[in-house]
Amino acid sequence: MSARDFISLENVGREELLEVMELARDQEEGRLGRLLEGRTVCLAFFEPSTRTAASFELAARRAGADVVSLSSGTSSISKGESLVDTVVTLDRLGMDALIIRHPAAGAASLASRHTSAAVVNAGDGCGQHPTQALLDLYALGKSLGGFEELAGRRAAIVGDILHSRVARSVIPAFGTAGIEVSLVAPATLLPREADVWRLPVLGSVDEALEWGAEVLYMLRLQKERMSGALVPSVAEYARYYGVGRRHLRPGVRVMHPGPVNRGVEIASDVVLDGSSLIPDQVSAGIAVRTAVLALATGSVERAAA
Amino acid sequence: MSTRSGADRELVIRGAHVLDPSSGLDGVMDVRISGGRVAEVGEDLHGVRELDASGLHLFPGFVDVHAHWRTPGREEEEDLESGSAAAAAGGFTGVVMMPNTDPVLDRPALVSGLVRRAERESRVRAYVAAALHAGLAGSELTEMRLLKEAGALCVSDDGPGTQNADVLRSGMLYARSAGLAVLLHCEDRSLAKGVVHDGVAAALAGVPATPASAEDAATATALVLAAETGARVHITHVSTALSAALVGFFKGRAGVTADTTPHHLTLTDDLVRTLEGLYRVNPPLRPEGDRREVIEALRDGTLDFVATDHAPHAAQRKELPLQEAAPGFLGHETAFAALYTELVLGESLPLSRLVEAMSCAPGRWVGGLGSLAVGAPADIALADLEEEWTVERESLSSRSHNSPYLGRRMRGRIVGTIVGGELVHDRMGAKLGVRT
């Protein structure tokens, strides 16, 4: 993370994570107010999104920002205008933050080289999704009694790690917060060089629980990968890489970045179980994204630049 | 290459360190050029026109069997003038143009037309690789005998490759009977679904990745078929340890030659961590382990020579996220300096092996080039091995700027290039003296 951009959580320090967490708490407790008044925030979504776009937009508006929304269905983005051209145009219109989602990894970083506005990566291909990981940390920390309570916990990240931008942000963020992480996925859904993370790779949710996972972080299995060459069947996937009621025990929390394939990653009756943090993750989105926008636009001083 | 005034005149290049492994030349001496050919190499030669090359190294001109000059069809990215200027700036005196133009070079009239244009517009000797299959589509054979008559040097399906082994086998058999070499880009497209090497960088960056097996499997298939058909097969841009080993295994069992590129010899997939479209190339940049094995394969001759795969792209095709960018790098102007800096100075590769790999071996493959033997074409590269320079977009002769070496400091620079006795690139200043 450079001084103003939120593009990747690789190489982001503990102090910076803590800063976001504390600001998010301030927001939730009503201490930030209309912090973004007078700021202009632009959402440029080059691929469809419902929850992330809504979450960012609400965060910006509630904090008083002017919000401009572009999406691939309603703008020149759909006319084949290049990413760089779009960003340069937006830059000239003047904005304080550009929230960008794009189907290609690296898009946010490329955009940041063509604008003086702060760039917040709202998901780039299979690359990064930093605010998702930050809100996950916030929701998890809150359920455990605070950010400091995260250190020493064990979390298993389960599912399609190969294609997951959420995993690529959650892995370094959880690690920096002191959480021990393991990966649970068949080899077809892991990067060939998954060893680079130096994390244990386990064969099933059951093994993850034996390993001592208190957090089961489930990743969405994309429909096109549900059966065929990467996964033999939904039934087999759900048996080994899905969470069912039988996995629930005191102290185990289930997380998912959403939307959930019910009965695939998580059994239907578990999604809204008391052990599920999924609703907390969604509501943490507003607080954390307000904090991120405040830091990105310089509306509050950042401790660690 | 155009016929120029002066090509028939005599020129004596004095005082350079002449290095030509093909002729066993290695020392400070003078070279007399007459009628566009090497007339004499020896000591204390004089002539009416003299070029003072003291302090410089003199090599047989480099030969690049794999280049994309984008003519016809994409001249805004490169044309015969700019491509050949870039080649000359890099010390290349002979270049083979690949057939993936628009239209594809799959018909005799297109080939003969391009050969004629190159004679007029190119500063260096430019040769044409025609398509092996119509439209590079890997199904219908091209008229290879007519293509050869039209001036094609070899045939290739270039980037798309020939994906069906049976079709490739027929292509090799027919090319053999037509007397044409087959140049192969080996890539199994059923495995090559990504844009970077499937390694650590891909895992961390989250970019669609292609396993090394995409190259290795296709290389193995091509080598097996070459051994069976007896075709003259050249495997271009070998980039993996296993493919290099496979080529080594088949040497002596098939009429096979192979090259690798300056970028696969000097860069690794660490660069794709930046996610910049600039660094997308095909085959992709590999990890350090592959790079080391490829260097060793070049050192021991398993890989016969170096080719650049010079592939200019306009800024709007490279200034994109990695997975959306067009694959390819510029190559001509930085090849010698990159390899001299990284391999000769950095890895103790003998300079003579580098000259063999850039001049002599590819020159023999093209035919009659890459040598300073008396009577050979007077094609020469003059290099200042002491000059340090930084690769900058403003200094590039190509119409495009997609060099992976932009901003890199290099040692050794081509300062003069001579084709058929004529200076086609000159950074030496007024060193051409005329004696009265």
Give B71-109 pLDDT, tens digit per residue.
999 999 999 999 999 999 999 999 999 999 999 999 999
- 8 A C-beta contact, residue A243 and residue A277: no
- 8 A C-beta contact, residue A181 and residue A20: no
Which pLDDT score is estimated for A304? Answer: 40
Task: List pLDDT tens digits, range A120-141.
Answer: 999 999 999 999 999 999 999 9
pLDDT for A217 beyond 80: yes
Task: List pLDDT tens digits, range B369-426.
Answer: 999 999 999 999 999 999 999 999 999 999 999 999 999 999 999 999 999 999 999 9
- For residue B110 the two structure tokens come to 């297109």
Q: Which of B198, B205, B316 sits opposite A105 (nearest CB)?
A: B205
Q: Could you give the CA distance from residue B86 to residue B431 in angstroms, rounded to a whole number? A: 22
Can you count the helices (H) and strands (E) in chain B?
Answer: 14, 19
Give the nearest chain B residue to A164 (CA atoms).
B206
Which pLDDT score is estimated for B172? Answer: 97
Q: Which residues of B touch A81 (CB under 8 A)?
A: none
Q: Is B393 exposed, middle or buried (0-12, 13-18, 19+ CB in 10 A)?
A: middle
Mean pLDDT across chain A? 92
Which pLDDT score is estimated for B263? Answer: 98
pLDDT for B63 beyond 70: yes
Any CB–CB contact under 8 A between B290 and chain A? no
- 8 A C-beta contact, residue A159 and residue A152: no
Q: In which band, very low, low, confident or very high, does the pLDDT at B159 lie, cut at 50, 70 and 90?
A: confident
Give the nearest chain A residue to B211 (CA atoms).
A192
pLDDT for B57 beyond 90: yes
Which pLDDT score is estimated for B434? Answer: 61
Task: List pLDDT tens digits, range A5-37.
Answer: 999 999 999 999 999 999 999 999 999 889 999
Q: Give residue B198's identity as a one-letter amino acid code.
A: D
Q: Could you give the CA distance from residue A155 to residue A135 in angstroms, rounded to a whole number? A: 16
Using DSSP's 3-state secondary structure scheme, residue B286 falls into coil
Over range A79-106, report the average pLDDT: 89
Crossing angle of the two packed helices A165-176 and A14-28, in degrees rounded to 10: 100
Give the nearest chain B residue to A8 (CA atoms).
B205
* B389: Cα separation from own chain's centroid: 22
Any CB–CB contact under 8 A between B277 and chain A? yes
Which pLDDT score is estimated for A32? Answer: 87
pLDDT for B4 beyond 70: no
pLDDT for B252 beyond 90: no
* A223–chain B nearest CA distance, Å: 18
Tell me which residue has tokens 């990966």: A183
Mean pLDDT across chain B? 95
Q: Could you give the CA distance from residue A116 to residue A227 in angstroms, rounded to a whole number? A: 44
pLDDT for A79 beyond 80: no
- 8 A C-beta contact, residue B309 and residue B67: yes
Which pLDDT score is estimated for B3? Answer: 46
Q: Give residue A140's identity as a one-letter amino acid code.
A: L
More confident residue, B89 or A81: B89
Using DSSP's 3-state secondary structure scheme, residue B62 falls into strand
> pTM score, two decimals?
0.92
Which pLDDT score is estimated for B8? Answer: 64
Over range B199-213, report the average pLDDT: 95
Q: In which band, very low, low, confident or very high, does the pLDDT at B29 lie, cut at 50, 70 and 90?
A: very high
Over range B304-311, report the average pLDDT: 98
Residues sharing a CB contact under 8 Å with residue B26, sequence separation 6 or more, in sequence order = B17, B18, B19, B20, B352
More confident residue, A303 or B308: B308
pLDDT for B333 beyond 50: yes
pLDDT for B430 beyond 60: no
pLDDT for B5 beyond 70: no
pLDDT for B1 beyond 80: no
Catalytic residues of B: 309
B324–A10 CB contact, under 8 Å: no
Minimum mean pLDDT range among A65-79, A96-110, B335-349? A65-79
Residues sharing a CB contact under 8 Å with residue A92, sequence separation 6 or more, in sequence order = none
- 8 A C-beta contact, residue B251 and residue B238: no
Tell me which residue has tokens 């047989």: B60
Q: Which residues of B touch A164 (CB under 8 A)?
A: 206
B323–A124 CB contact, under 8 Å: no
* A143–chain B nearest CA distance, Å: 29
Q: In which band, very low, low, confident or very high, does the pLDDT at A2 lie, cut at 50, 70 and 90?
A: very low
Peptide bond into B284 cis (omega under 30): no
Give the nearest chain A residue to B316 (CA atoms).
A82
Backbone angles phi and psi of B139, in degrees to 5: -135, -60
Over range B58-82, report the average pLDDT: 98
- For residue A183 the two structure tokens come to 């990966």
* A191–chain B nearest CA distance, Å: 5
A110–B206 CB contact, under 8 Å: no
Tell me which residue has tokens 């292609």: B210
Q: In which band, very low, low, confident or very high, does the pLDDT at A75 lie, cut at 50, 70 and 90?
A: low
Interface of A with B (CB under 8 A): 10, 82-84, 102, 104-107, 109-110, 124-128, 163-165, 168, 191-194, 196-197
Closest CA to B161 of B127, B136, B139: B136
* A40: Cα separation from own chain's centroid: 23
Bridge partners, A98 (sequence order): A42, A119
User: Cβ–Cβ contacts within 10 Å for residue A250, how many?
Assistant: 6
Any CB–CB contact under 8 A between B352 and chain A? no
Which pLDDT score is estimated for A229? Answer: 84
Over range B330-355, report the average pLDDT: 98
pLDDT for A173 beyond 50: yes
Task: List pLDDT tens digits, range A234-272.
Answer: 999 999 999 999 999 999 999 999 999 999 999 999 998
Over range B267-281, report the average pLDDT: 95
Q: Give residue A122's identity as a one-letter amino acid code.
A: A
Q: Give residue B416's identity as a one-letter amino acid code.
A: G
More confident residue, A99 or B3: A99
Which pLDDT score is estimated for A74? Answer: 61
